[in-house]
Amino acid sequence: MKLVGERKALAATVFAFWTLIYALLALSAQVPELSPMLAGIAGCYGLAFFAVVAGYFWARWYAVGVGLYGVITAAVGMWQIGPEPIVLFIGGTHLAATLLLWGNSMSGPFDGRLEWRERWHLDDSAVQRLGRSVIRAGVSLPFVLAYALAPKEDAASTVLALGTLALAGFGLRALVKLRTWGVLAMGAAGAALIATASVELATGSSMMCALRPGVAGALLLAAAAPFVPAILRYASPRWQ
């Protein structure tokens, strides 16, 4: 199935829809403390929409990641409350957007363009490695935002959470620019989130409280992982 332009338009429509929904939820939240979290997630969807329409080379990967985030959210919802219509709608729309952007035929307007590969001197292996990392980062970013911008009990937790969010956000931006420090920033953010989840469990918090930072941290570490061997190979001669 080709229909590249039509699939791109339909996927962008899904992300625009969820951008609007989360923005409206942020504006009309009955609990004002949740508004920053909802606005942040709206920003994730808005970035996916804008990037897909603009045709940035990394847009398809990032949008697929955000779509998979929605699928995971729906799966957790089904586990908690069962196959309710709203949960099925969330999962179905996100799965549709993911599938619409999936496949080699959809790479042409995005990561299949030659000019950016030539600019960064990337072969197919390097492109695949970067793609896997951006997809995983795209899945993790809404989780990081949901954790970092959710209400906290004390100022120290808030500062730590916002610092982790900054590392993840700037790390993703640096990653698509092929900066080594972006990989390190995402790895540091992932490790911090895993540590936070461990502390939550150790202090008797519920599994759900630890799930969000735990999943986000694991995904950020997975996003950094494909580049670790190359970084080690580059750094090894300098350590000798």
Give me the helix-helix angle, 35-54 and 59-81, nearest 10°.
Answer: 140
What pLDDT, on the 0 to 100 scale, is given for residue 41? 94
Structural domains of the chain in order of their starting residue, each with its CATH number: 1-121 (no CATH), 132-229 (1.20.1270)
In whole angstroms, what is the distance from residue 151 CA to residue 136 CA? 25
Angle (nearest 5°) at CA 37 between 184 and 225: 20
Please tell me the predicted confidence (pLDDT) of residue 205: 64
What is the rounded (10 degree) CA torsion for 38, 101, 222, 57? -90
Instruction: State CA 46 to chain mean position distance.
Output: 13
User: What pLDDT shows up at residue 108?
Assistant: 83
Q: What pLDDT, on a 0 to 100 scale, did the predictor assign at position 198?
A: 84
142 vs 216: CA distance, rounded Å: 8
- The span from the first CA to the last CA of the chain, in angstroms, equals 52
Residue 237, pLDDT score: 57
Report mean pLDDT in 10-residue bins for the chain, 240 residues.
Answer: 84 96 88 87 95 93 95 90 90 95 87 80 83 91 88 79 89 86 89 85 69 84 82 60
Q: Provide the pLDDT for residue 178.
A: 81
Each residue of 184-204: pLDDT tens digit? 899 999 999 898 888 877 776
pLDDT, tens only, 88-98: 999 999 999 99
pLDDT per residue over 35-74, tens digit each? 999 999 999 999 999 999 999 999 999 999 999 999 999 9
